[in-house]
């Protein structure tokens, strides 16, 4: 590429990514040259500022036409903007958690890494939302994954953390390899890695053998992605990793990483397999035939996540299974494969971001103080800190999907989707609602601890500034989007034409 | 005042109390109690105002209100977004239930002032949230809004039982949550299928669509949906064998909560069955009528027989509630003017009677720390006034003429005798049993063998008279002048019966 072509590229559409990457580089340098005695928290605040700058730049780009650069490998469409907003919002809250994190096990040494690895992972996820090519998609995914592996094991002296990081690396790399294998089939059949070109080539597909290969590719990619989403039966790594990792990292994995996972699901499955015809041009796309596989995974994920969560005594493990369960609900939305899907997934992830990060803020504070992660440590929280207990109560109610909260509207939206269309998924809908009732048990179990049981000790809580911010945003977000969800829906409808843009 | 905003103010006025309570210090016992009580009054005054407005011959439709609220994206790009508006409205049936809710809520707040011994601030905040949920349930004009309010009642009740209840309160709270959670899950599925098939959740529009012979749904589907509704509301009502959670709640929850629970929350099940079950699926309701009548008779007899052998007065009342809900089912199943009217009368009447009985139980428990019939024997000597009112409440419960229970049972049975004389005849055994268990329990307490000395100032005093006297007056008023209930019901009944084809 000559310098002229490089300068003629409209780099401005990558502004948010550049802001994050630039600041990451700055943080690395600062961290290197800062004297050891200086507190690294300042790096975290710089990171937060960068995320907000990126968020503003993304918001400013909303509503424009679809733009793409670098031979269509990087595209800025409404889908990318909408999901970048989610990622940035989630990452900002995670950073607030991170700056308030007071770990006991020698994390202080690696404080700097802690912040900029978050940012690197974030930029990977952001890249995924904009990828118009299998290669960029893959690079984004790896950027996200590799930094997550390191983050999970950042407490080097903690055995549990080491073990969980090891599990995460091994499982994660296998899943990436499987995804890559699936992608290679797609490349082999079409001779291109650009998703839109692939879609175009596949829409005229009529050879039965090729359809067979493509179906195999679909299943492989689905299996690989199921690992990333912690969907059953490939969810085993999640509880260990969630338990072993520092709480802000767990929060990051459960929200930002999961959003990234769904971005890749929608990008690959819809563009590539939504276009591949099964019986010549204009016939049913492969993905409609594969709907049932996704439905089975969704059902199994919801059942396993919710049922196993019942037996947990460790709050972080319980939230790991809860997070698995929520991945199941989101997969139900994927199964509907309708225009509603984009909005319901986006809205659910938005709701999930608030309720889960808020809950992790409380978990972080309570487990730090208690020095353990038992659910029993929440006993009597209402006495010790009514603010924490009531906030946690509201967030748990939202997680359980009760009306008046964003969690309810999110579930309702997904639920509506299962009943529409030519083949309504009645069984899946019933599984979803039955498992939701099962989830009342463990969410209200925490409530019972907080409100009904006496406290083991009476010491009060000091709520650090960062945690307070997360809690306020989370509670307001959960309630606001539960009472007037149209704020979010209207913004999407008016500024972002996801469906129109997606296939352009 | 703008008539359209009255219902919204009525439903959400208790929430204002929550805001005020939030700013009160925890320790301010009197202030918390006072605020909690005062904020049940706006709903009471407004609901009575609506009732007077109706009596003055005005149209209740003036009160209905609609705003756009949520728009979900449609399934295709071209398809318009499907909308869930915010719609409140009121008809005669709903009016009666709203008045009942407001009355019982205010009296229960007085009960709470007496019976709740700790953490008044939290109690009243949850209580007011519960009241908003109940008022919303009875005024919601679309199913999703109904469902939201329905669920809103769940959370405060869970905490009210689990935190302020007696010994096994947590267990009771959990079984309440899970049974009712499952019930609402089934309900949500029904609502969503209706929504998906018709594109609306407005109850009136759904009623028109579903009673149209060229409906969107086949008869089999409708029957399935009605059976699901029967299960969903059957948990709430409760219909045998879905009742076990309710016994726990009645025994473990604090008396002021049981007043609400037995007086109103159980009625949501009856309301749902009549308004949605009968209203939206009249044809299928006919098909199921015999089954529902049989379930009603089972409830009536099962409750009555088991009430007879209980030693704890609370358990007697709990089984008595199950038994009385059987009469509601039987009245519904008759599907004629007298039957349905009897069912609705029973809903209101039982709401008042059970609130009265549980208030008295609360008073007794507060003074003697027991609700065992044996231990309360001979109370008429020490607490003659309380014993007198207890006797009056018992008479109302067993359906003595001149009290509300009589009118309700009489009409429900009259209706059922017209359509299913055999079942009705078997049901009459229940009436005899009712007289037997009520008299056994109440006479055992008032004039039974004395186990302890009832001396000192034990009898009713001060503010305790208010709920008791108000409830007794209302019960007698309905008994001697039933048209306070029947005249608002007239139009509603006609609509329902029109759907049933006569």
Beta-bridged to residue B82, according to DSSP, are B72
Q: What is the DSSP string of A249-304?
A: HHHHIIIIIHHHHHHHHIIIIIIIITT-BSSSTTS-BHHHHHHHHHHHHHHHHHHH
Which residues contact residue A209 at a Cβ distance below 8 angstroms, ignoring those fewer than 6 apart? none
* Chain B, window 145-164: residues with a beta carbon less than 8 angstroms from a chain A beta carbon: 147-149, 151-152, 154-155, 158-159, 162-163
**Dist CA A112 CA B274 (whole Å):** 65
Is the minimum CB–CB distance between B302 and chain A shorter than 8 Å? no
Give the number of beta-carbon pairs within 8 Å between A and B: 102
Is the minimum CB–CB distance between A439 and chain B shorter than 8 Å? no
CB distance A202 to A237 below 8 Å = no
B36 vs chain A: nearest CA distance in angstroms? 19
Confidence (pTM) = 0.90
Q: What share of chain B is helix, strand, coil (3-state, %, to 5)?
A: 75, 5, 20
Instruction: Name the residue in chain A with its Cα closest to that of B175.
Output: A441
Q: Please provide the size of chain B in residues.
A: 502
Is the minimum CB–CB distance between B71 and chain A shorter than 8 Å? yes
Distance of CA A67 to the CA centre of its chain: 25
> Which among B148, B149, B178 has CB closest to A440?
B178
CB contact under 8 A, B178 and A441: yes
CB distance B127 to B34 below 8 Å = no
- pLDDT band at B101; cut points 50, 70, 90: very high
Q: What is the DSSP string of B250-271?
A: HHHS-HHHHHHIIIIIHHHHHH
| pLDDT value at residue A108 | 60
Q: Which helix (H) or strand (E) holds B67?
A: strand B65-72
CB distance B21 to B35 below 8 Å = yes
Name the burial class of residue B152, with classes exposed (0-12), middle (13-18) and buried (19+) by CB atoms within 10 angstroms of its CB.
buried
Is the minimum CB–CB distance between A461 and chain B shorter than 8 Å? no
Residues of B in contact with A346 (CB under 8 A): none
> Which among B149, B162, B195 has CB closest to A452?
B162
* CA B25-B29-B31 angle, 5° bins: 70
Residue B281 in this model has a pLDDT that exceeds 70? yes
Q: At what angle do helices B421-446 and B313-334 cross, to 10 degrees?
A: 160
Q: Are strands B82-88 and B65-72 parallel, antiparallel or unpaired?
A: antiparallel
Hey, is B142 helix, strand or coil? strand
Residues of B in contact with A338 (CB under 8 A): 75-76
Any idea of the CA torsion for A86, A87, A93, A94, to the nearest 10 degrees? Answer: 150
> Which among A336, A433, A451 has CB closest to B188?
A433
Which residues contact residue B309 at a Cβ distance below 8 angstroms, ignoring those fewer than 6 apart? none
* Chain B, window 227-266: residues with a beta carbon less than 8 angstroms from a chain A beta carbon: none
Task: For residue B327, give both structure tokens.
Answer: 């009469």
| pLDDT value at residue B192 | 87
Residue B260 in this model has a pLDDT that exceeds 60? yes
CB distance B355 to B107 below 8 Å = yes
**Dist CA A395 CA A391 (whole Å):** 6
Is the minimum CB–CB distance between A173 and chain B shorter than 8 Å? no
| pLDDT value at residue B501 | 63
> Which among B75, B155, B173 has CB closest to A340?
B75
- pLDDT band at B446; cut points 50, 70, 90: confident
Q: What is the DSSP string of A439-486?
A: HHHHHHHHHIIIIISPPS--------HHHHHHHHHHHHHHHHHHH-TH
CB contact under 8 A, A404 and B152: yes
Residue B82 in this model has a pLDDT that exceeds 90? no
> Which among A338, A403, A452 has CB closest to B152?
A403
| pLDDT value at residue A104 | 61
Beta-bridged to residue B66, according to DSSP, are B87
CB distance A91 to A256 below 8 Å = yes
| pLDDT value at residue B78 | 64
* CA B28-B114-B100 angle, 5° bins: 110
Task: For residue A469, give both structure tokens.
Answer: 């911010």
Hey, is B65 helix, strand or coil? strand
Q: What is the mean pLDDT of residues B313-328?
A: 91
Is the minimum CB–CB distance between A340 and chain B shorter than 8 Å? yes
Hey, is B71 helix, strand or coil? strand
CB contact under 8 A, B144 and A485: no
- pLDDT band at B215; cut points 50, 70, 90: low
- Higher local confidence (pLDDT), B308 or A66: B308
Which residues contact residue B27 at a Cβ distance below 8 angstroms, ignoring those fewer than 6 apart? none
- Please state, rounded to an integer, the average pLDDT across all residues of chain A: 84
A353 vs chain B: nearest CA distance in angstroms? 20
Give the CA distances from residue A292 to residues A221, A288, A297, in Å, rounded to whole numbers and listed in that order: 15, 8, 9
Residues of A in contact with B151 (CB under 8 A): 402-403, 408
Is the minimum CB–CB distance between A423 and chain B shorter than 8 Å? no
A256 vs chain B: nearest CA distance in angstroms? 24
Residue B250 in this model has a pLDDT that exceeds 80? yes
Per-residue model confidence as pLDDT tens digits over B366-379: 888 888 888 888 78
Which residues contact residue B102 at a Cβ distance below 8 angstroms, ignoring those fewer than 6 apart? B40, B43, B44, B46, B47, B48, B135
> Which among B71, B75, B155 has CB closest to A421?
B75
**Dist CA A252 CA A84 (whole Å):** 15
Instruction: Name the residue in chain A with its Cα closest to that of B178.
Output: A437
Q: Are strands A67-69 and A74-76 parallel, antiparallel or unpaired?
A: antiparallel
Instruction: Name the residue in chain B with its Cα closest to that of A420.
Output: B196
Is the minimum CB–CB distance between B80 and chain A shorter than 8 Å? no
**Dist CA A447 CA A438 (whole Å):** 15
Beta-bridged to residue B2, according to DSSP, are none
Is the minimum CB–CB distance between A403 and chain B shorter than 8 Å? yes
Residue B457 in this model has a pLDDT that exceeds 70? no
Is the minimum CB–CB distance between B494 and chain A shorter than 8 Å? no
Is the minimum CB–CB distance between A342 and chain B shorter than 8 Å? yes
Hey, is A143 helix, strand or coil? helix
**Dist CA B109 CA B263 (whole Å):** 13
Per-residue model confidence as pLDDT tens digits over A108-124: 666 778 888 889 999 99
> Which among A338, A342, A419 has CB closest to B192?
A419
A81 vs chain B: nearest CA distance in angstroms? 18
* CA B397-B398-B403 angle, 5° bins: 65
ipTM above 0.95, yes or no: no
**Dist CA B197 CA B211 (whole Å):** 14
Q: At what angle do helices B143-152 and A406-419 cross, to 10 degrees?
A: 140
What residues of chain A score a pLDDT lower than 70? 1, 103-110, 279-283, 421-422, 500, 503-504
Hey, is B208 helix, strand or coil? helix
| pLDDT value at residue B286 | 87
CB contact under 8 A, A416 and B196: yes
Hey, is A100 helix, strand or coil? coil
CB contact under 8 A, B147 and A403: yes
Tell me the percentage of chain B whose pLDDT exceeds 90: 25
Q: Which of A210-214, B191-195, B284-288 has the lowest mean pLDDT?
A: A210-214
Which residues contact residue A244 at a Cβ distance below 8 angstroms, ignoring those fewer than 6 apart? A152, A158, A160, A161, A162, A163, A164, A165
Per-residue model confidence as pLDDT tens digits over B487-498: 888 888 888 887
Q: Which of A98-112, B264-278, B441-455 has the lowest mean pLDDT?
A: A98-112
Which residues contact residue A92 at a Cβ distance below 8 angstroms, ignoring those fewer than 6 apart? A48, A51, A52, A55
Closest CA to B488 of B346, B377, B344: B344
Per-residue model confidence as pLDDT tens digits over A91-106: 999 989 888 887 665 5
**Dist CA A95 CA A24 (whole Å):** 13
């Amino acid at each position: 590429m000559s310098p002229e072509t490089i300068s003629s590229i409209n780099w401005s559409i990558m502004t948010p990514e550049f802001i994050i990457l630039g600041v990451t580089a700055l943080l690395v340098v600062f961290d290197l040259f800062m004297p050891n005695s200086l507190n690294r928290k300042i790096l975290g605040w710089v990171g937060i500022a960068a995320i907000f700058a990126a968020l503003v730049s993304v918001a400013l780009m909303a509503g424009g036409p679809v733009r793409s650069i670098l031979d269509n490998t990087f595209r800025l469409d409404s889908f990318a903007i909408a999901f970048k907003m989610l990622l940035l919002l989630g990452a900002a809250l995670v950073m607030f958690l991170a700056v308030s994190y007071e770990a006991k096990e020698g994390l202080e040494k690696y404080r700097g890494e802690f912040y900029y690895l978050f940012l690197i992972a974030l930029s990977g996820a952001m890249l995924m939302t904009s990828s118009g090519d299998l290669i960029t998609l893959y690079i984004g995914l790896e950027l996200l994954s590799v930094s997550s592996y390191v983050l999970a094991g950042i407490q080097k002296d903690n055995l549990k953390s080491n073990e969980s990081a090891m599990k995460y690396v091994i499982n994660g790399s296998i899943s990436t390899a499987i995804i890559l294998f699936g992608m290679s089939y797609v490349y082999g059949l079409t001779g291109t890695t650009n998703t839109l070109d692939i879609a175009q080539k596949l829409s005229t597909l009529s050879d039965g053998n090729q359809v067979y290969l493509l179906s195999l590719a679909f299943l492989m990619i689905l299996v690989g992605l199921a690992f990333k989403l912690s969907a059953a039966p490939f969810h085993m790594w999640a509880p260990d990793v969630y338990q072993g990792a520092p709480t802000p990292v767990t929060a990051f994995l459960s929200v930002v990483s999961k959003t990234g996972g769904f971005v890749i699901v929608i990008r690959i499955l819809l563009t590539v397999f939504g276009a591949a015809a099964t019986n010549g041009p204009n016939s049913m796309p492969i993905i409609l035939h594969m709907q049932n596989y996704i439905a089975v995974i969704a059902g199994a994920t919801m059942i396993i996540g919710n049922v196993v969560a019942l037996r947990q005594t460790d709050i972080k493990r319980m939230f790991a299974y809860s997070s698995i369960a929520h991945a199941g609900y989101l997969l139900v939305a994927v199964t509907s494969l309708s225009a509603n899907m984009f909005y319901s997934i986006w809205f659910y992830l938005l709701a999930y971001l608030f309720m889960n990060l808020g809950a992790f803020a409380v978990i972080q504070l309570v487990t730090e103080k208690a020095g353990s992660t038992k659910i029993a440590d929440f006993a009597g929280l209402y006495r010790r800190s009514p603010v924490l207990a009531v906030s946690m109560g509201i967030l748990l109610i939202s997680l359980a999907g009760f009306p008046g909260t964003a969690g309810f509207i999110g579930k309702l939206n997904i639920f509506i989707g299962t009943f529409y269309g030519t083949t309504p998924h009645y069984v899946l809908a019933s599984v979803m609602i039955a498992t939701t009732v099962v989830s009342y048990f463990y969410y209200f179990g925490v409530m019972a601890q907080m409100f009904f049981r006496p406290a083991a000790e009476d010491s009060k809580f000091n709520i650090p500034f960062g945690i307070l911010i997360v809690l306020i945003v989370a509670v307001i977000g959960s309630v606001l989007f539960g009472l007037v969800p149209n704020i979010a829906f209207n913004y999407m409808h008016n500024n972002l034409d996801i469906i129109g843009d997606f296939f352009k | 005042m703008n008539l359209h905003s009255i219902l919204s103010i009525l439903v959400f006025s208790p929430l204002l109390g929550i805001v005020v309570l939030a700013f009160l210090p925890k320790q301010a016992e009197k202030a918390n109690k006072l605020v909690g009580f005062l904020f049940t009054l706006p709903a009471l005054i407004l609901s009575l105002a609506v009732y007077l407005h109706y009596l003055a011959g005005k149209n209740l439709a003036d009160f209905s209100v609609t705003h756009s609220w949520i728009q979900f994206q449609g399934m295709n790009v071209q398809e318009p977004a499907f909308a869930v508006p915010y719609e409140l409205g009121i008809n005669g049936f709903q009016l009666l239930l709203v008045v009942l809710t407001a009355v019982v809520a205010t009296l229960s707040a007085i009960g709470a002032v007496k019976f709740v011994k700790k953490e008044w601030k939290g109690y009243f905040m949850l209580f007011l949230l519960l009241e908003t949920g109940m008022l919303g349930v009875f005024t919601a004009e679309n199913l999703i809004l109904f469902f939201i309010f329905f669920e809103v009642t769940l959370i405060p009740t869970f905490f009210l039982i689990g935190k302020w209840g007696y010994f096994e309160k947590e267990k009771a709270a959990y079984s309440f949550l899970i049974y009712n959670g499952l019930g609402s899950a089934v309900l949500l599925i029904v609502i969503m299928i209706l929504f998906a098939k018709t594109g609306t959740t407005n109850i009136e529009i759904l009623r028109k669509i579903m009673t149209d012979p060229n409906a969107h749904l086949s008869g089999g589907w409708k029957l399935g949906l009605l059976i699901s509704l029967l299960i969903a509301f059957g948990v709430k009502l409760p219909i045998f064998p879905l009742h076990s959670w309710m016994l726990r709640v009645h025994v473990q929850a604090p008396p002021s909560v049981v007043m609400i629970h037995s007086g109103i929350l159980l009625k949501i099940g009856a309301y749902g069955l009549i308004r949605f079950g009968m209203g939206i699926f009249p044809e299928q309701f006919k098909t199921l009528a015999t089954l529902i009548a049989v379930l009603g008779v089972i409830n009536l007899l099962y409750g009555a027989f088991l009430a007879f052998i209980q030693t704890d007065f609370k358990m007697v009342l709990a089984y008595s509630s199950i038994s009385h809900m059987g009469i509601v089912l039987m009245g519904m199943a008759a599907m004629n003017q007298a039957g349905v009217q009897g069912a609705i009368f029973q809903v209101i009447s039982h709401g008042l009677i059970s609130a009265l009985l549980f208030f008295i139980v609360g008073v007794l428990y507060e003074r003697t720390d027991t609700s065992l019939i044996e231990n309360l024997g001979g109370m008429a000597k020490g607490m003659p006034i309380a014993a007198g009112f207890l006797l009056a409440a018992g008479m109302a419960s067993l359906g003595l003429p001149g009290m509300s229970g009589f009118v309700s049972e009489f009409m429900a049975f009259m209706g059922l005798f017209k359509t299913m004389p055999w079942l009705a005849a078997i049901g009459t055994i229940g009436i005899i049993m009712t007289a037997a268990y009520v008299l056994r329990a109440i006479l055992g307490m008032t004039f039974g063998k004395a186990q302890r000395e009832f001396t000192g100032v034990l009898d009713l005093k001060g503010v305790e008279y208010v709920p008791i006297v108000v409830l007794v007056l209302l019960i007698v008023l309905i008994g001697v002048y039933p048209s306070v209930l029947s005249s608002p019901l007239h139009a509603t009944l006609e609509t329902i019966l029109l759907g049933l084809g006569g």
